[in-house]
Chain A
Amino acid sequence: DAGITQSPRHKVTETGTPVTLRCHQTENHRYMYWYRQDPGHGLRLIHYSYGVKDTDKGEVSDGYSVSRSKTEDFLLTLESATSSQTSVYFCAIRGTGSPLEQYFGPGTRLTVT
């Protein structure tokens, strides 16, 4: 493992409630990413961060916000969860130099009822 943990690992919540997922890394990497994975869609980028307080949107950012107040933590918030946000969420990290590959956390399975 590349020193990435995600919490919670599983969560069931109701439509309309706020939800926050946490990604924690111990590698001091600059870049962190949030993806969702759904059947037929593969992995899709939600948001990413290139440093503390520096974030940018990915291709499916609507309904999600992120924050990064420390290098090691990247939070993903669903402001008002909807059933379409039921998915498996993966966090990933990447360093600034070589190698350029990403390493993934174990994932969080979120169910919105």
Chain B
Amino acid sequence: EDKVVQSPLSLVVHEGDTVTLNCSYEVTNFRSLLWYKQEKKAPTFLFMLTSSGIEKKSGRLSSILDKKELFSILNITATQTGDSAIYLCASANTGNQFYFGTGTSLTVIP
């Protein structure tokens, strides 16, 4: 059964801290790994990774994919209150289906 597992389920940090969110996947015919941010509305796209070892960066956010060990991490440095959200990890297969994890709820305290 295809599945995506995220950890931790929730996280509370102070502004300025660095956080690491984890995502492991077991997906047949893997194509890509995606990260989304959800703030009380629809998920918004952050990153897509298709090749192992490639690090994607966007400001304070970065992500790495390890296709051998079947996991990805999302790093957020110098966290801000605006980073408070649920972060979703998803894996896409070659059949164009997407499998989502249950998400990590991040709360950043001022």
Contacts and interface: CB of A to CB of B under 8 A. Distances in A.
Given A48-B96, A99-B48, A100-B48, A106 B42 contact: yes
A48 B99 CA distance: 13
Contacts of B44: 104
A43 B45 contact: no
Contact of A104 (B32, B42, B48): B42
A1 to B, nearest CB: 9
A63 B64 CA distance: 38
Contact of B43 (A43, A45, A100): A43
B2 to A, nearest CB: 8
A45 B34 contact: no
Given A31-B96, A50-B96, A99-B48, A107 B41 contact: yes
Given A99-B48, A101-B34, A105-B42, A43 B97 contact: no
B88 A43 contact: yes
Interface string A34-58: 0100001111110010100000001
Given A33-B98, A101-B48, A42 B31 contact: no
Interface string B65-102: 00000000000000000000000101010001111111
Interface residues of A, number: 24
A9 to B, nearest CB: 11
A94 interface: yes
Given A43-B88, A48-B96, A103 B45 contact: yes
B81 to A, nearest CB: 23
Contacts of A33: 98
B23 to A, nearest CB: 12
Interface string A81-105: 0000000001010100001111111
Nearest to B101: A42
Given A101-B45, A102-B90, 13 more contacts: A40-B102, A41-B102, A42-B88, A50-B96, A90-B43, A100-B48, A100-B92, A101-B34, A101-B48, A102-B98, A106-B41, A106-B42, A107-B41
